[in-house]
Amino acid sequence: MTANRRIVFLIGLLLAGSPAGAWAAGNSANGEKLFKKCAACHSVAPGKKKVGPSLHGVLGRTAGSAEGYRYSKAMTAYGRSGIVWDADTLDVYLEAPRKVVKGTKMSFPGFKKAQDRADVIAFLKQYSE
Ligand code: HEC
Protein backbone atom coordinates (compact mmCIF):
# COMPACT_ATOMS: atom_id res chain seq x y z
CA MET A 1 0.00 0.00 0.00
CA THR A 2 2.56 2.57 1.09
CA ALA A 3 4.78 1.66 -1.85
CA ASN A 4 1.87 2.13 -4.23
CA ARG A 5 1.05 5.48 -2.75
CA ARG A 6 4.63 6.54 -3.09
CA ILE A 7 4.59 5.62 -6.78
CA VAL A 8 1.39 7.57 -7.34
CA PHE A 9 2.96 10.51 -5.56
CA LEU A 10 6.10 10.30 -7.70
CA ILE A 11 4.07 10.16 -10.91
CA GLY A 12 2.19 13.22 -9.70
CA LEU A 13 5.45 15.03 -9.15
CA LEU A 14 6.68 14.09 -12.60
CA LEU A 15 3.52 15.38 -14.27
CA ALA A 16 3.52 18.59 -12.27
CA GLY A 17 7.14 19.17 -13.14
CA SER A 18 6.91 18.40 -16.84
CA PRO A 19 8.19 21.24 -19.00
CA ALA A 20 5.77 23.85 -20.29
CA GLY A 21 6.14 25.23 -23.78
CA ALA A 22 5.14 23.11 -26.71
CA TRP A 23 4.08 20.31 -24.41
CA ALA A 24 1.73 22.28 -22.21
CA ALA A 25 -1.80 20.97 -22.43
CA GLY A 26 -3.99 23.49 -24.21
CA ASN A 27 -7.28 24.67 -22.82
CA SER A 28 -9.59 25.19 -25.79
CA ALA A 29 -12.18 27.18 -23.82
CA ASN A 30 -9.55 29.75 -22.95
CA GLY A 31 -8.26 29.44 -26.50
CA GLU A 32 -11.66 30.52 -27.76
CA LYS A 33 -11.35 33.74 -25.76
CA LEU A 34 -7.82 34.33 -26.97
CA PHE A 35 -8.96 33.73 -30.55
CA LYS A 36 -10.85 37.03 -30.35
CA LYS A 37 -7.47 38.62 -31.02
CA CYS A 38 -7.16 36.59 -34.20
CA ALA A 39 -10.79 36.92 -35.25
CA ALA A 40 -10.30 40.45 -36.58
CA CYS A 41 -8.37 38.82 -39.40
CA HIS A 42 -9.27 35.12 -39.31
CA SER A 43 -12.40 33.00 -39.39
CA VAL A 44 -12.63 29.32 -38.53
CA ALA A 45 -15.46 28.86 -41.03
CA PRO A 46 -14.37 26.69 -43.98
CA GLY A 47 -13.00 28.77 -46.85
CA LYS A 48 -13.99 32.12 -45.30
CA LYS A 49 -11.14 34.54 -45.77
CA LYS A 50 -10.88 37.90 -44.08
CA VAL A 51 -7.62 39.86 -44.03
CA GLY A 52 -6.05 36.47 -43.33
CA PRO A 53 -6.93 32.98 -44.60
CA SER A 54 -9.54 30.76 -42.96
CA LEU A 55 -8.02 28.77 -40.13
CA HIS A 56 -10.48 25.95 -40.60
CA GLY A 57 -8.42 22.79 -41.02
CA VAL A 58 -5.15 24.62 -40.44
CA LEU A 59 -3.58 21.76 -38.47
CA GLY A 60 -2.26 19.33 -41.04
CA ARG A 61 -2.18 21.96 -43.80
CA THR A 62 1.02 23.05 -45.52
CA ALA A 63 1.84 26.67 -44.66
CA GLY A 64 0.59 29.13 -47.26
CA SER A 65 -1.70 26.68 -49.04
CA ALA A 66 -5.34 27.58 -48.28
CA GLU A 67 -7.18 27.65 -51.59
CA GLY A 68 -8.21 31.02 -52.93
CA TYR A 69 -6.06 33.06 -50.56
CA ARG A 70 -3.24 35.28 -51.77
CA TYR A 71 -0.34 34.83 -49.39
CA SER A 72 2.80 36.90 -49.14
CA LYS A 73 5.81 35.51 -50.94
CA ALA A 74 7.34 34.89 -47.54
CA MET A 75 4.52 32.61 -46.35
CA THR A 76 4.41 30.74 -49.67
CA ALA A 77 8.14 30.14 -49.44
CA TYR A 78 7.78 29.02 -45.84
CA GLY A 79 5.31 26.35 -46.93
CA ARG A 80 7.50 25.29 -49.85
CA SER A 81 10.34 24.76 -47.41
CA GLY A 82 8.25 21.88 -46.07
CA ILE A 83 6.46 23.44 -43.10
CA VAL A 84 3.15 21.77 -42.24
CA TRP A 85 1.10 23.36 -39.46
CA ASP A 86 0.87 21.23 -36.34
CA ALA A 87 1.02 21.96 -32.62
CA ASP A 88 4.81 22.41 -32.78
CA THR A 89 5.13 24.54 -35.92
CA LEU A 90 2.20 26.72 -34.82
CA ASP A 91 3.80 27.15 -31.40
CA VAL A 92 6.99 28.42 -33.00
CA TYR A 93 5.17 30.70 -35.45
CA LEU A 94 2.69 32.21 -32.99
CA GLU A 95 5.39 33.25 -30.56
CA ALA A 96 6.80 35.78 -33.03
CA PRO A 97 5.16 35.55 -36.47
CA ARG A 98 7.22 38.26 -38.11
CA LYS A 99 10.49 36.91 -36.85
CA VAL A 100 9.74 33.34 -37.86
CA VAL A 101 8.37 34.21 -41.31
CA LYS A 102 10.28 37.33 -42.29
CA GLY A 103 8.13 39.37 -44.66
CA THR A 104 4.80 37.84 -43.65
CA LYS A 105 1.87 40.18 -43.99
CA MET A 106 0.38 38.94 -40.73
CA SER A 107 0.80 41.92 -38.44
CA PHE A 108 0.26 40.27 -35.10
CA PRO A 109 3.06 40.57 -32.55
CA GLY A 110 2.59 37.06 -31.18
CA PHE A 111 1.74 35.41 -27.89
CA LYS A 112 4.70 35.50 -25.52
CA LYS A 113 3.15 33.04 -23.09
CA ALA A 114 3.51 29.36 -24.03
CA GLN A 115 0.20 28.64 -22.32
CA ASP A 116 -1.63 31.19 -24.49
CA ARG A 117 -0.19 29.56 -27.60
CA ALA A 118 -1.13 26.08 -26.40
CA ASP A 119 -4.67 27.26 -25.63
CA VAL A 120 -5.28 28.89 -28.98
CA ILE A 121 -3.79 25.85 -30.76
CA ALA A 122 -6.16 23.59 -28.78
CA PHE A 123 -9.02 25.79 -29.97
CA LEU A 124 -7.88 25.58 -33.61
CA LYS A 125 -7.54 21.81 -33.34
CA GLN A 126 -11.30 21.58 -32.89
CA TYR A 127 -11.69 22.96 -36.39
CA SER A 128 -9.16 20.64 -37.97
CA GLU A 129 -10.09 17.07 -38.77
C1 HEC B 1 -3.97 41.89 -38.24
C2 HEC B 1 -4.50 40.70 -38.87
C3 HEC B 1 -4.12 39.36 -38.27
C4 HEC B 1 -4.21 38.95 -36.96
C5 HEC B 1 -4.66 39.74 -35.75
C6 HEC B 1 -3.80 37.55 -36.95
N7 HEC B 1 -3.47 37.14 -38.21
FE8 HEC B 1 -2.86 35.29 -38.75
N9 HEC B 1 -2.60 35.91 -40.65
C10 HEC B 1 -2.90 37.18 -41.13
C11 HEC B 1 -2.51 37.29 -42.51
C12 HEC B 1 -2.67 38.51 -43.40
C13 HEC B 1 -1.96 36.03 -42.86
C14 HEC B 1 -1.33 35.63 -44.19
C15 HEC B 1 0.17 35.81 -43.98
C16 HEC B 1 1.02 35.85 -45.23
O17 HEC B 1 0.55 35.54 -46.33
O18 HEC B 1 2.19 36.23 -45.07
C19 HEC B 1 -2.03 35.19 -41.66
C20 HEC B 1 -1.60 33.88 -41.59
C21 HEC B 1 -1.75 33.05 -40.50
C22 HEC B 1 -1.41 31.65 -40.46
C23 HEC B 1 -0.86 30.84 -41.60
C24 HEC B 1 -2.05 30.25 -42.31
C25 HEC B 1 -1.77 29.40 -43.51
O26 HEC B 1 -2.74 29.07 -44.21
O27 HEC B 1 -0.61 29.06 -43.78
C28 HEC B 1 -1.75 31.20 -39.22
C29 HEC B 1 -1.59 29.79 -38.70
C30 HEC B 1 -2.28 32.31 -38.49
N31 HEC B 1 -2.28 33.43 -39.29
C32 HEC B 1 -2.74 32.23 -37.20
C33 HEC B 1 -3.16 33.33 -36.44
C34 HEC B 1 -3.58 33.25 -35.08
C35 HEC B 1 -3.73 31.97 -34.27
C36 HEC B 1 -3.83 34.52 -34.68
C37 HEC B 1 -4.23 34.99 -33.30
C38 HEC B 1 -3.33 34.62 -32.24
C39 HEC B 1 -3.61 35.39 -35.81
N40 HEC B 1 -3.20 34.63 -36.87
C41 HEC B 1 -3.79 36.77 -35.82
C42 HEC B 1 -3.46 38.21 -40.41
C43 HEC B 1 -3.65 38.22 -39.04
* Whether residue 3 has pLDDT greater than 90: no
Q: Find out whether the beta carbon of 37 lies less than 6 Å from any atom of ligand 1.
A: yes
Average model confidence (pLDDT) across the chain: 89
Q: Find out whether the beta carbon of 126 lies less than 6 Å from any atom of ligand 1.
A: no
Note the pLDDT of residue 54: 98
Note the pLDDT of residue 25: 81
Question: DSSP letters of the chain?
Answer: -HHHHHHHHHHHHHHHTS--GGGSPP-HHHHHHHTHHHHTTB--STT-BSSS---TT-TTSBTT--TT----HHHHHHHHTT-B-SHHHHHHHHH-HHHHSTT-S-------SHHHHHHHHHHHHTT--
Q: Find out whether the beta carbon of 58 lies less than 6 Å from any atom of ligand 1.
A: yes
Atom of ligand 1 nearest to the CA of 78: 27
**In CATH terms, is domain 22-125 a member of 1.10.760.10?**
yes
Q: Find out whether the beta carbon of 43 lies less than 6 Å from any atom of ligand 1.
A: no
